Amino acid sequence: MKLQDTTKLYGSKRDSSEQRRAFTSGQVPVAVYGLGKMGLPLAAVYADVSENTTGVDIDPDVVEAINDGDCPVGREPGLADLVSETVDSGALEATVDSAAAAAAASVHVVIVPTTLRENNEPDLSMLQAALEDIASGLESGDLVVVESTVPPRTSADVVQPLLAEQSGLDPDEFGVAFCPERTASGSALQDITQSYPKVVGGVDDESTRAAELIYEEITDNDVLPVSDAATAEAVKVFEGVYRDVNIALANELSRFADEMGVDVTEAIDVANTQPLCDIHLPGPGVGGHCIPYYPYFLIDQFATDTPLLRTAREVNDVMPEFTVGKLVQGLERNGTPIHDATVAVLGLAYRPGVAETRKSPAKPIAARLSAYDADVVGVDPVLDDVSDFELTPVSLSELSECDLDAVVIVTPHEEFDDIDWSAHDDLVVVDGRDMLEDGAISHAVYTIGAGWDVPKP
């Protein structure tokens, strides 16, 4: 299929330079579905490049804020300015009317969340809902790009058939490509446009070509076309799985610290000076919307067994329990039973400086401490709502007024550097992130990976 329509890229017979000019001059309308922490930065970049982007979200408050030139996603350098600029210029607008956006767009970019059900099965319901809306306005020559992380073969086995069935088009009349988002909260704009090569893979060669053309305009970095969409999907999942397995290795090694009398984190740092070694660092658990989820996009999704991935998940999932166990051990040494203890959990977000609690290890840590009948307080300077944690929130300034017996450092926000540890007597501190330097405070400290540092009486 070859098209003359200047608004279409898939199947176009125009010269690639003409297609690029059309895309960057507003002739090719773009719709970005999902305006969350990753979606809004992507929509803003698309608007800046294409000059004709509509962002779609189900939350009317998000849409209203964006259309007012405000940025509902915080702690993203440069994003507020870019949203304001692109809205003011007319390059970006937002809507809750996904069907209207789909009918107007020629390029559809989907970046809605993909999570897990309670049984750890991938939940693609939000992706499927977005695809159904796209199908209602899909036309011949349109290109659909999926950036939401999905199990390999989703584009070919789910996305393309669903779009074809509900739009009434033949599969070769529209394009489907996968381009994994490779962004992190706090550096989204830089990651989209500069930090990493963009990976693109289509369900057919023409889909790959059209997606490659677009992303060569979106990023200043390289664009890496791969064999097909399934390969591109695997790239994203493999990146997350690698980190999960590597962190599990570090966590398992960290548990040798007491028996060996070795600072395992020091040994890891030195071992990593060998170019073939790249062990990550241990911690109290693995959080976020990526690493804890993506192994399950492979586990039980194919006939191939995955014992290593399962074991890595088990190792990482048990670290909150291990962390609390070390705290209980330290309190017993001080003669304080856990059920009589007041414990502060420092850092409830899963990552420093990022207001996101999904799969944060602080949740099971707080829950386990509460189950022991400890009095648990929590401090996090980047979060406004911690109602889903089993603890009492206190501000950082109120911490010194708490009669604490113990502290668990889960997420080392930079604000914690100013804590006055001398305001508390005879604490037990479990440092899950190696935040405290040796001997920096006059309390008993257990550092995951390094073991106990107990001041001499």
Report the range of poorest mean pLDDT among 1-5, 13-17, 175-179, 258-262: 1-5
- Per-residue pLDDT of 413-429, as tens digits, reads 999 999 999 999 999 99
The pLDDT of residue 11:
97
Tell me: pLDDT of 99 over 60.
yes
- Per-residue pLDDT of 201-220, as tens digits, reads 999 999 999 999 999 999 99
Tell me: pLDDT of 1 over 60.
no
37 within 8 A of 73, measured Cβ to Cβ: yes
365 residue type, one letter: I
- For residue 318 the two structure tokens come to 């048990």
- Per-residue pLDDT of 107-123, as tens digits, reads 999 999 999 999 999 99
Which of 256, 179, 437 is closest to 445 using CA atoms? 437
The model's pTM is 0.95
C-alpha angle 312-318-319 in degrees, rounded to nearest 5? 95
Alpha carbons 358 and 289: distance in angstroms, whole number: 6
Tell me: pLDDT of 2 over 90.
no
Active site residues: 236, 290
Alpha carbons 212 and 353: distance in angstroms, whole number: 33
Mean pLDDT, residues 232-239 taken together: 98
Mean pLDDT, residues 287-295 taken together: 96
153 within 8 A of 232, measured Cβ to Cβ: no
User: Tokens 């999960």 appear where?
Assistant: 244
Mean pLDDT, residues 300-316 taken together: 98
The pLDDT of residue 438:
85
Average pLDDT, whole number, for the chain? 97
- For residue 416 the two structure tokens come to 């914690």
Q: Which domains does the chain have, with CATH numbers?
A: 16-236 (3.40.50.720), 318-453 (3.40.50.720)
- Split at pLDDT 50, 70, 90, the class of 439 is confident
The pLDDT of residue 4:
57
Which of 138, 224, 136 is closest to 179 using CA atoms? 224
Per the model's pLDDT, the better-predicted residue between 2 and 242 turns out to be 242
Which of 95, 74, 76, 94 is closest to 86 using CA atoms? 94
Tell me: pLDDT of 149 over 60.
yes
- Split at pLDDT 50, 70, 90, the class of 456 is confident
- Split at pLDDT 50, 70, 90, the class of 156 is very high
- Split at pLDDT 50, 70, 90, the class of 455 is confident
Alpha carbons 316 and 244: distance in angstroms, whole number: 8
